[in-house]
Every structure is written in C-alpha cells, then in structure tokens.
Amino acid sequence: MDYVIMVNEGPYNHQASDSAYHFATHALDKGHSIRRIFFYYDGVLNGTKFSAPQSDDRNIVKRWAALAEDHPVDLAICVAAGLRRGITDDSLADGFRITGLGEFIESCIDAERTVVFGD
C-alpha cells in the first residue's frame, strides 16, 4: 500500500505526532511505502529546529528526520500554517521542507490511502 499521512497536532502537546510516527515506522517495516507526511494546523511545529526536549524524553523532531533519512519519505510542512506559527526556512529543522497545500492534495490523489492523525 502506498500511503500519504497527515499530522494535524503539535508535538508533545498531543499524541497525534507519536501515533503517526509509530504508524509510519510499522507500515514501512511491513513493506508499505509512504510518499509524503504532511504537517498541517499545529502539526507544522513538528518541524521546528528550536525544539529541545529533555534528554530522557523522545526527540520527536529528530525522530521524523531520521525516518526520512532511512526511507524515501517526504516531510512536508504547509507554508500557510507554518507562517502563522513562525515555521519558515529560518526555523525549519533538518529533513523537512516547506510546501503548499496543493502538493498535499496531489499526494492524496496519487496515493492509495490517506491517513489523518489529529483530533
């Protein structure tokens, strides 16, 4: 199965980022592909390079980047939602890129299945 994943909540504040990450890693382990993970609403905060969690906690931002290093997964941040929340090229973490909603809609059309994580 070829998936696109949407993450709609901020990291740490909400479990959606964790659930999406675990879904993604297990899907990839099972041989499925994920063409894009699109971050929208407060989900764009998953891509801030200024996140500095305590050392005994998971690092959600870096975990995404590592996933995209190991697999051909596009970590895409919505430009409009990002601008509202201060996510720009200056604050973007490694491994992510900023793009538009149009690219997300295109991936929904092209992928076999779209899975949304959020409230």
Partner 1 sequence: MTHPDDTPAEIVVKRFLYVNRKAPHGTVYALEELEMVLIAAMFEQDVHLAFLDDGVFQIKKNQKPAELALKDFSKTYGALEDYGVEKIYVEKESIEERGLTPDDFIIPTTVLRRDDMSALMESMDVVLTA
Give the integer Cα–Cα distance in Å for 86 and 119. Answer: 22
Among positions 3-22, residues that touch partner 1 (CB under 8 A) are: 6, 8
Among positions 86-105, residues that touch partner 1 (CB under 8 A) are: 100-102, 104-105
Residue of the chain from 29, 72, 89, 109 that contacts partner 1 (CB under 8 A) = 109
76 binds partner 1 (CB under 8 A): no
Residues 6+ apart with CB under 8 A from 34: 2, 3, 4, 5, 24, 27, 28, 71, 73
Q: How many CB atoms lie within 10 A of CB 114?
A: 16
Catalytic (active site) residue 78: yes
61, containing H or E segment: helix 60-70
Residue of the chain from 22, 66, 69, 80 that contacts partner 1 (CB under 8 A) = 80
Stretch that binds partner 1, among 20-28, 46-54, 59-67, 80-88 (CB under 8 A): 80-88
116 binds partner 1 (CB under 8 A): yes
